[in-house]
Structure 1
Amino acid sequence: MTVWDRPEPPTRPAPLDRERIVAAAIALADEGGLEAVSLRKVAARLDVGPMRLYQYISTKEELFDLMVDEVHAEILPEEQPGDWREVLRTHADRTRQATLRHEWLADLLGGRPTLGPNALAVTEATLAALDGLADLDTVMRAVETVSAYFTGAIRREIANLRAERATGLSKRDWQRAYGPYVSRVLATGRFPALAKVVHDGTEVDAETSFATGLDWVLDAVAAKLARPSA
């Protein structure tokens, strides 16, 4: 029986429920990442004995599932856009914003489907927006393609943010620190394509890069939906 199927036990001797447990776990993860989350630490946060939590949640993996589903409530918009393209864009943008608020989510994106009610509502809204535009397999590949793009882009952005904190170097500081080495390497002439990018390419921030890449992926999906049998 999944955590979604099991009823909650009576709230005694002190009031406790999965909502409070998940809120405490998310607070711990926001402060210290997933490594800061354990049933024992959540119990301490709630000032209850660890065994009390096992009445509600069997494993840490179940707790993670509940945490991810709770954040999906932030991803699901109150009003769904009418256009399929805006639905997918909104899903991607809201997932990125939720992950920037809860960086630990990046570690749990892209795995097995999340089956909680909020995550299922997000999936339903996404699929419904594409319903009837193409055959089912094309619709599924379109959703998977967009999801693969924004999952990878979000993970890369979070990895960069973590690297900045770990090293104490901003992106600009890192570029200055490694600039002399890169200049020497490029001066050898062995990497002409890379040299052109370094010297002539336009640098953009993470938000602009994310939005541009998402537009390109959505353009490709639109082209495929226009000729689903191709």
Structure 2
Amino acid sequence: MAGKAAEPGVIWARPERTGRGPKPAFTRADIAAAAVRIADAEGLDAVSMRRVAGELGCGTMSLYNYVPRKEDLYELMVDAVSGEHELWEPGGDWRAEMRRVAQQTRELMHRHPWMTRLMSPVYGFSPNALRYLEHCLACLDSLEAPYGMKMQLVGMLNGCVTSYVSTELAAAERTRSLPWSAEQEDAVRIAYLGSQVATGAYPRMAAAFTEDPGPIDLDGAFGLMVERMLDAFAPKSD
């Protein structure tokens, strides 16, 4: 006889612990905190049920009574970090509020670099994530737009921030792996690029480079990205 097929479920709709036995020795918050500590120190790939169980001082199989799947563990981690968002009283300027949201999210992802790999709508409806989303919508109260469009704005903003931070983290990781300084690397690449542009094969790029925008300002570029994205949702009168 075939076994019963697995059924979809949401960890937040399940009891904290399944099975019989003594009073639980730890909570989901404890499990999430342990997993976040491991990921912060060693990266997401270091997180496993065995490692988390070892961090908590319990058996791996015991942990499955609390967290049935590794995907549930990831969801606990995302929810724990989502709880770090500061939820303030909106001041009525939706653009200023969204700038603050974007900057805070960027800082959070730099504190927890592995978060960029888990940013997904699948993990977007945990308790802390829902509080964060409700806060974002409150920040947009002064924007005259349907809620569907406001949800799009929040989703696109999070996507832009995630992509930007992913690029920042990748660049930083590559720099750390180089056997020479980042300045030496940049000098060599700029020299090569200059030699290619000088051939005349790329006239538009040559014209762009003659404008000499100066050194790349990552903070300024981040702010500009956010402003351009918000422009797409601003009423014509803004």
TM-score band by shorter chain is: 0.7 to 0.9
Task: Report what 2:172 is aligned to.
Answer: 161
Instruction: Say whether the 8 Å CA contact 1:76–1:118 is kept in structure 2.
Output: no
CA separation in 2, counterparts of 1:141 and 1:25? 31
Contact 1:74 1:94 in 2 (8 A): no
| RMSD of aligned alpha carbons | 2.5
Which residue type is aligned with residue 8 of structure 1?
Answer: E
Name 1:218's counterpart in structure 2.
230
Larger displacement relative to structure 2 (144-153 or 69-78): 144-153
Residue 171 of structure 1: how far off its partner (Å): 4.1
1:7 and 2:42 are equivalent in the alignment = no
Q: Higher helix share goes to which structure?
A: 1
What CA distance in whole angstroms lies between the structure 1 residues aligned with 2:44 and 2:186?
Answer: 30
| Alignment pair present for 1:31 and 2:44 | no
State the match for 1:124 in structure 2.
Answer: 134
The answer to whether the 8 A contact 1:25-1:42 is kept is yes
1:112 corresponding residue in structure 2: 122
Output the CA distance in 2 between the equivalents of 1:158 and 1:149: 14
| Paired AA for residue 6 in structure 1 | R
2:6 corresponds to: none
- 2 CA distance for matches of 1:142 and 1:123? 11
Asked whether the equivalents of residues 164 and 171 of structure 1 are also in contact (C-alpha less than 8 Å), the reply is yes
Q: Which residue of 2 aligns with 1:135?
A: 146
The match for 1:89 is 99
Distance verdict in 2 for CA 1:25–1:83, change over 3 Å: same
Bigger shift: residues 8-17 or 53-62: 8-17
Task: Give the number of the structure whose alpha-carbon radius of gyration is greater.
Answer: 2
Distance 2:215 2:21 in 1: 55
Asked whether the 8 Å contact 2:90–2:138 carries over to 1, the reply is no
Secondary structure at the aligned position of 2:183 is classed as helix
Task: Tell whether the 8 Å contact from 1:4 to 1:116 is kept in structure 2 after alignment.
Answer: yes
Cα distance in 1 for partners of 2:179, 2:120 equals 29
Counterparts of 2:191 and 2:161 in 1: how far apart (Å)?
33
User: How far apart, CA to CA, are the structure 2 residues paired with 1:113 and 1:20?
Assistant: 19
Q: Is the 8 A contact 2:39 2:45 kept in 1?
A: yes
**Kept in 1: contact 2:12–2:126 (CA 8 A):** yes
Answering whether residue 154 of structure 2 is matched by residue 146 of structure 1, we say: no
Q: Tell me: CA distance 1:210–1:170, structure 2 relative to 1, closer, same or farther (3 Å).
A: farther
In the other structure, the counterpart of 2:5 is: none
CA distance in 2, matches of 1:11, 1:62: 22
1 CA distance for matches of 2:75 and 2:181? 33
For residues 113-145 of structure 1, the C-alpha deviation after alignment (integer angstroms, 9 at most, x for no partner) is 511111101111112333471233433333333
The CA distance in 1 between the partners of 2:24 and 2:91, in whole Å, is: 43
The verdict on how the C-alpha distance between 1:116 and 1:76 changes in structure 2, with shifts beyond 3 A counting, is farther
Give me the whole-angstrom Cα distance separating, in 2, the residues matched to 1:14 and 1:147: 36
**Which runs of 5 or more structure 2 residues have no equivalent in the other structure?**
1-8
Provide TM-score, normalisation by structure 1.
Answer: 0.86
Contact 1:92 1:150 in 2 (8 A): yes
Unaligned runs of 5+ in 1: none
Cα contact 1:25–1:67 (8 A) shared by 2 = yes
